[in-house]
């Protein structure tokens, strides 16, 4: 008999569904706070407005082999010859104290080739170099970091010169 009472009590406790409610506290004309309970279900609500959650900290960036006199990439490209240095320049909107920027160079399989870093100290431009003299032709990737956040990603190729 005791087991039956325990089973019935458990079924009543866990078997009854709970209703979601939102409490809307309103003040009546007499100045007393009253409560109006409004059931809510937002599962089928259609959102018509999308809010941007991403803020870009890079003004721009560029990848190439030619540098301008100020040390930034002057001509962009994505196909290079083996032996040509590959440069990546980052122009920053924000450069807070202690910021470190970097570019992770890797091959098509994700193997890290080089990861040069630079402490910015308030500077707004940084140029990074990948030496390709010992790299075979193929596909490569450069991931640009602002702190430890990936801000830009480039894919590029090293192609051997074609014989005529």
Residue-range definition of the domain harbouring residue 114: 58-158
Name the token pair of 5.
Answer: 């009472």
**Residue 131 placed within a domain:** yes
**Residue 127 placed within a domain:** yes
pLDDT at 86 (0 to 100) = 95
The pLDDT tens digits of the residues spanning 69-91 come to 999 999 999 999 988 999 999 99
**Least confident interval from 48-52, 56-60, 108-112, 140-144:** 48-52
**Residue 42 placed within a domain:** no
Q: Which residue has the higher pLDDT, 36 or 31?
A: 36
Confidence band (pLDDT; 50, 70, 90) for 106?
very high
Name the token pair of 105.
Answer: 């160079």
Q: Mean pLDDT throughout 137-158?
A: 93
- What is the C-alpha separation between 152 and 101, in angstroms, rounded? 12
**Residue 49 placed within a domain:** no
115-124 contacts, C-beta under 8 A, 24 or more apart: 120/92, 120/95, 121/97, 122/95, 122/97, 123/92, 123/95, 124/59, 124/91, 124/92, 124/93, 124/95
Residue owning tokens 């008999």: 1
**Least confident interval from 28-32, 90-94, 127-131:** 28-32
Q: Is the pLDDT of residue 109 over 60?
A: yes
Residue 65: Cβ within 10 Å count: 16
Q: Is the pLDDT of residue 17 over 70?
A: no
**Residue 19 placed within a domain:** no
DSSP tag of 62? E
Overall pTM > 0.75: no
- What is the C-alpha separation between 76 and 67, in angstroms, rounded? 10
- What is the C-alpha separation between 142 and 83, in angstroms, rounded? 17
Per the structure, the count of domains in the chain is 1
Q: Is the pLDDT of residue 35 over 60?
A: no
Q: Which residue has the higher pLDDT, 46 or 14?
A: 46
What does the mean pLDDT of the chain come to?
81
**Residue 144 placed within a domain:** yes
**CATH number of the domain residue 71 falls in:** 2.60.40.1930
């Amino acid at each position: 008999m005791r087991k039956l009472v325990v089973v019935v009590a458990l079924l009543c406790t866990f078997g009854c569904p709970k209703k979601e409610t939102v409490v809307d506290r309103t003040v009546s004309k007499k100045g007393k706070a009253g409560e109006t309970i409004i059931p809510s279900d937002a599962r089928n609500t259609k959102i018509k407005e999308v809010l941007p959650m991403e803020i870009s900290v890079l003004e721009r960036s560029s990848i190439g082999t030619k540098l301008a006199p100020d040390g930034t990439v002057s001509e962009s490209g994505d196909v290079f010859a083996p032996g040509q240095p590959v440069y990546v320049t980052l122009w920053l909107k924000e450069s807070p104290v202690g910021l470190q920027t970097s570019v992770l160079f890797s091959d098509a399989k994700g193997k890290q080739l080089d990861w040069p870093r630079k402490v910015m100290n308030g500077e707004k431009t940084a140029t990074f170099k990948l030496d390709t003299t010992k790299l075979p032709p193929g596909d490569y990737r450069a991931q640009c970091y602002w702190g430890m956040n990936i801000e830009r990603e480039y894919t590029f190729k090293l192609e051997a010169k074609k014989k005529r």
